[in-house]
Structure 1
Amino acid sequence: MSRRWTNDLTAQDVTPERVFLNRRQLMSGAGALGIAGGLAAPAHAQELEPNSFEDITNYCNFYEFGTGKSDPAQYAEALTTEPWTVQIDGLVEKPGDYSFEDILSQMDIEERIYRFRCVEAWSMVVPWNGFELGDLLEMVGVKPEAQYVAFETAYRPDEMRGVAYPVLDWPYVEGLRLDEARHPLTLMATGLYGKPLPNQNGAPLRLVVPWKYGFKSIKSIVRITLTDSQPPTSWNKANAREYGFYSNVNPNVDHPRWSQATERPLGGGLLARRKPTLMFNGYDEVASLYDGMDLTENF
């Protein structure tokens, strides 16, 4: 497949793997020290000892395995990822069930170093491995009437203990407009930090859309559907006031419970200064996708 995007970030920009994996614990510690509010902290706050690998993989969100931050790492090993099949259907020329191996054999896997931002106002730079979603859509053929791409996470009550609870309307679903999905920045990730995706991070296949908030990055995808109407998304269904369909990083639109105007980069220590949040997370090349739209109403 031809390359359509040039990365402007390097390995020197990457958030250390230890910090990425331990981000929930670090942010919890920052809040306890009063850092999130910009208050002074003791000098020893910068002298945190490295955690064990078991510790640093214990903090992430994957509600299918429980709502506790350590639940995914504790229980996601129950998810069977081999073999893995992705159903691609709807308005495509070649619908069918595609094995993960067959998809990989036809895609060019590369490393992408992306800025990544969570709605709680912290940011990272993460090296993902994967392929452009646009290449996959090209492979299956998109019919002219298609306008959106819908995604669905695996729903396996025998392997995913968290779906026994009505935290969300299972299975987890997400969606993009077709032009967003085809943009060369939009990645189907198969790994991070040069390693296959851990189960708790969405193995074997997840979405990464770096100009949007992290909750748009649906994990463990089993179905991709091309449609002519806007698909539902899980967090929008759960709380439309807080989570819009587009979910673009926009410093001019506050989350109802906190400001999104500034962010704190992870990896710079607990005393790292906050910096202004960049529109579209700094990816100006996607701005034309939203020409003429009210991005306050379409948040």
Structure 2
Amino acid sequence: MAHRWNNDLSRADITPEATFLNRRHVLAGLAASGLSAVAGRARAETLEPNSWEEITGYNNFYEFGTGKGDPAEYAHLLTTKPWSVKIDGMVDRPGDYDFQDIMSEMTVEERIYRFRCVEAWSMVIPWNGFELADLLAMAGVQEGAKYVAFETLYRPEEMPGTRYPVLDWPYREGLRLDEAMHPLTLMATGIYGKPLPNQNGAPLRLVVPWKYGFKSIKSIVRITLTDKEPPTSWNMAIPSEYGFYSNVNPEVSHPRWSQASERKIGGGFFVKRVPTLMFNGYEKEVAGLYEGMDLAKYF
């Protein structure tokens, strides 16, 4: 299937893999703002690259626990083979799509995206995957569909975090159909040229680079086309903090912190903060999706 997006990032822009591996140390150092400059510089200069096993030692995947290290500790329990994705709702060809069959139909490419989370740090990450639009075309989107809903696997015997009512399980996310069909919207199957580890959402996760990280739902087992805005987990849990759209917008502050500036991972502890770019730097590509909308209201 044709590649429909011209990437303006190169491999020179990529956050080094060792830095990505080390990001829990980097963030810990940034949080320790009371340290002296000398102590902070010494910490930065003595960082050692982590192993691949530690790549997701600092991340969120609440199905395995709320601690940053829980996904790395418990995700090995997850069975990812066989894997299928149910595609239903307003589609011509509903059914359970085997992951291997999906992969045989798709052209998997490397996409280099800016990727940003709400902690005001950013990276440039090479994902491997295919456009969500191609998968939706396989199922056949019906006229009248306006939204795409996603669900993460819910398997308490393998995902210990789901045994607690932290969220209303299963984890749910959603996009407007035009967002889902945009060529930037990726179904990721790998990272840094390697298959996705369980901790990162194996075997199939969403990547929407102009939105905050929690929109990129992991370990997807269901995709539903609908004409109604679907419920999303964090919006259901804390609607005052997490809206349906969750676009990177420096003009709209999170209730507990500013989103106006960020620090790029890999530049050291004392790198100058820079203004956060609207839509995470993809304004030219995606601003047209929201023409005429009040982005402070629809946050």
TM-score, normalized by length of structure 2? 0.96
Question: Aligned-pair distance for 1:21?
Answer: 3.0
- Output one character per residue of 1:225-280: Cα deviation in whole Å (capped at 9) or x when no partner: 00000000000001000000000000000000000000000011111111000000
Alignment-derived partner of residue 16 in structure 1:
16
Alignment-derived partner of residue 230 in structure 2:
231
Structure 2 counterpart SS, 1:98 = strand
- Output one character per residue of 1:72-105: Cα deviation in whole Å (capped at 9) or x when no partner: 0010010000000000000000000000000011
Matches within 5 A, 1:15-34: 15-34=15-34
Alignment-derived partner of residue 130 in structure 1:
129
8 Å CA contact retained: 1:91, 1:143:
yes
Q: Distance in 2 between matches of 1:17 and 1:238?
A: 33
Alignment-derived partner of residue 138 in structure 2:
139
Aligned residues: 296
Which is further off, 195-204 or 3-12?
3-12
The one-letter amino acid paired with 1:158 is: E
Alignment-derived partner of residue 107 in structure 1:
106
Question: Aligned-pair distance for 1:49?
Answer: 2.5
Which is further off, 56-65 or 147-156?
56-65
TM-score, normalized by length of structure 1? 0.96
Q: Distance in 2 between matches of 1:188 and 1:32?
A: 35
Q: Distance in 2 between matches of 1:198 and 1:189?
A: 11
Alignment-derived partner of residue 95 in structure 1:
94
Q: Distance in 2 between matches of 1:277 and 1:21?
A: 23
Alignment-derived partner of residue 213 in structure 2:
214
Question: Aligned-pair distance for 1:298?
Answer: 0.2
Q: Find out whether 1:66 has 2:54 as its counterpart.
A: no
Moved over 4 A (4+): none
Alignment-derived partner of residue 50 in structure 1:
48
Structure 2 counterpart SS, 1:74 = helix
| Unmatched segments (≥5 aa) in structure 1 | none
Decide whether aligned partners of structure 1 residues 282 and 139 sit closer, same or farther in structure 2, where only a CA change above 3 A counts: same
| Unmatched segments (≥5 aa) in structure 2 | none
- Output one character per residue of 1:80-134: Cα deviation in whole Å (capped at 9) or x when no partner: 0000000000000000000000001111100000000001111000000000001
Alignment-derived partner of residue 294 in structure 2:
294
Q: Percent same amino acid at aligned positions?
A: 71
Structure 2 counterpart SS, 1:230 = coil
CA RMSD across the alignment? 1.3
The one-letter amino acid paired with 1:198 is: P
8 Å CA contact retained: 1:81, 1:204:
yes
Question: Aligned-pair distance for 1:55?
Answer: 4.0
Decide whether aligned partners of structure 1 residues 64 and 228 sit closer, same or farther in structure 2, where only a CA change above 3 A counts: same
